[in-house]
Amino acid sequence: MSNGLSQPPNGIHGGYHGSLTIRILMIVFTSIALYNAIELFILIFLTFTHYRGLYFWTLLISVVLGVIPHAIAYLLEFFALAPLWLTLVMSTIGFYVMVPGQSMVLYSRLHLVVQSRKILRFVLGLIIVDAIILLIPTTVLTFSTAYVGTPSIIRGYNVMERLQLAWFCAQEFVISGIYIFETVKLLRLMPEKGRRRTKIMYELLAINFVIISLDVALLVVEYLGYYALQTTLKPMVYSIKLKLEFGVLGKLVALVQTHRSQPTSAEQDQYPVFVDPTQFTSDVTHAAPQEPRSPRDMSTWNSMSAESLPIPDRRMRLSPRSSNTTQSP
């Protein structure tokens, strides 16, 4: 446990000499993070039918270059199993990719529910600006604390490290809040009411609130001063949040694919523009440009390209009834 803002965090100079309980927890957290990362790496290639798109790449890079090196680096550092400079470089690169990468994953799925380009540009700009103003100073202070270690530098690092984590958590709260708001609005615009709509809404809200709760738990550990515990807990938390993204995406695809047979023109007018099939690309991560459409083009508002779906959903979509609807002139 850190002694205060004027003292260097336990382990920043290499090696951890705390209690056995903390050491065991550090190993447990790191093991869970690595297990989740490896499992998620496999699931990514088993789930996606096209290896492209912002969602796919941000998810993959966050796992391979974010969670894995960040988790391994701190384990090597605290148990003095590698040179300090190497562990600092690995942990820094991992943090660069993992934490802002999580925000990019959240941003990449906003295209499915947010129609406003202003909101999307605001979120993207927020991620880029926050990464620049937070990552660079923290990196300089990290290496300075490890190799210079003057009282002013140590205090600056302790303050910046806490501020950075809180800032990134607040950023994720904002993005998740926008997603929840837009999803609820989308569900209210759907003409059909019933248990399915209510169930999907509560499942989406529950997943997002779990993600927010994990961020809060990480903040609590950080501000209690458990630096070593927090740095190994962080990759585990982010690996869990990345796995939950599959749940969010799956529920969202199920939402926009609510099966309806031959809706009337009056019903079509009630559907929001951004759930029209022309608004989806093959990687299910970007809204396509708006193009003029005739009433004939709107015959099945929820007809998503089968190639864009995970393999089980794609097989379900390629039923005889769906094929007849797709091939009709």
Query: What does 41-88 look like in DSSP terms, one character per residue?
Result: HHHHHHH-SS--SHHHHHHHHIIIIIIHHHHHHHHHHHTT-S-HHHHH
Is the pLDDT at 123 greater than 60, yes or no? yes
The tokens describing 317, both together, are 């979509």
How much is the pLDDT for 98?
A: 92
**182-200 average pLDDT score:** 69
pLDDT band for position 236 (cuts 50, 70, 90): very high
Q: Phi and psi (nearest 5°) for 280?
A: -115, 140
> What does the angle CA 220 – CA 222 – CA 225 come to, to the nearest 5 degrees?
110
How much is the pLDDT for 11?
A: 66
Decide: pTM greater than 0.75.
Answer: no
How much is the pLDDT for 2?
A: 53
Residue 119's alpha-carbon distances to 71, 122, 157, 169, 178, in angstroms, are: 33, 5, 33, 19, 9
Q: Is 220 helix (H, G, I), strand (E, B) or coil?
A: helix
The tokens describing 252, both together, are 């969202």
> What does the angle CA 213 – CA 218 – CA 219 come to, to the nearest 5 degrees?
95
pLDDT band for position 320 (cuts 50, 70, 90): very low
> What does the angle CA 54 – CA 49 – CA 209 come to, to the nearest 5 degrees?
55
Is the pLDDT at 139 greater than 90, yes or no? yes
Q: Are 59 and 36 in contact (CB under 8 A)?
A: no
How much is the pLDDT for 4?
A: 64
Q: CB-based contacts of 281: which residues, under 8 Å, 6+ apart?
A: 53, 288, 308
pLDDT band for position 3 (cuts 50, 70, 90): low
> What mean pLDDT value characterizes the chain?
75
Alpha-carbon distance 327 to 228, whole Å?
Answer: 59
Question: Which of 112, 232, 271 minimizes the C-alpha distance to 179?
Answer: 112
Max Cα-Cα span within the chain: 75
Domain boundaries, the chain: 20-256, 273-323
Question: Which of 223, 128, 114 minimizes the C-alpha distance to 176?
Answer: 114
**170-197 average pLDDT score:** 76
Q: What residues form DSSP beta bridges with 284?
A: none
Is the pLDDT at 90 greater than 80, yes or no? yes
94-103, 136-145, 197-206, 315-324: lowest mean pLDDT where? 315-324
Quick one: fold of 20-256?
Rhopdopsin 7-helix transmembrane proteins (1.20.1070)
